[in-house]
Chain A
């Protein structure tokens, strides 16, 4: 049973370019969460999505960041016009449902470096 998949594992972008990060949840999971980890820090929640719906985006920066989870295909975290401060590890997690007892399972992360 494959776990949460993320690609690419490493992504290098120059300032002003766009970054697209993909996340495929565990089989049977319909809830996806994105977190960002800055160097030497814990993970910070960004956004929670279900299929075709954004449920909670309270942790997303207001500009340049967007996320989607289409009916078919992976969830995408998109960062437009990247800046050096966007350099971080971005982790996706999935859960079976959105219940408060559900465990979130994390992918290996995408490490974004902005030059």
Chain B
């Protein structure tokens, strides 16, 4: 079965510094990976996805993610953090069940706190 792991419950970073939120995956076959952000009492907002192609994927709000097949990782990055980036970040993998549907399997989330 497909799965993702987010090893850090919380990441603290100073404003202006680069940030990394980690995600590792376990899949059979080709991985389809996604990052979403959740602000308090809001739904999930799509940031970016990796389907195929370049290992460096660029997304919304200046975020990017690097797909690393040898390390089975898909870490989310941003060169310069903003206080407004403080939120809960979820990594997800597309799972294909025996019925052929493509539900998401989510990680447990990483809370990012950007300090002014």
Contacts and interface: CB of A to CB of B under 8 A. Distances in A.
A42 B6 CA distance: 10
Contact of A42 (B43, B101, B108): B108
A58 interface: yes
- Size category, A interface: 20 to 34
B5 to A, nearest CB: 11
Contact of B43 (A45, A56, A98, A106): A106
Interface stretch (B66-74, B77-85, B89-97): B89-97
Contacts of A101: 32, 51
B89 to A, nearest CB: 11
A105 B104 contact: no
Q: Chain A CB within 10 Å — which of B96, B99, B104, B107 has the most?
A: B104
Given A55-B101, A56-B97, A44 B106 contact: yes
A43 B44 contact: yes
Contact of A106 (B44, B49, B103, B108): B44
Interface string B21-58: 00000000000101010000111111001010000000
Nearest to A107: B43
Contacts of A99: 102
Nearest to B106: A42
Contacts of B95: 45
B87 interface: no
Contact of A105 (B46, B94, B99, B103): B46
Given A42-B107, A42-B108, A58-B97, A100 B102 contact: yes
A45 B97 CA distance: 12
A56 B34 CA distance: 21
B105 A45 contact: yes
Given A100-B94, A105-B46, A59 B103 contact: yes
Interface of A: 4, 6, 33, 35, 41-45, 48, 55-56, 58-59, 91, 93, 98-109, 111
Interface of B: 32, 34, 36, 41-46, 49, 51, 90, 94-97, 99-109
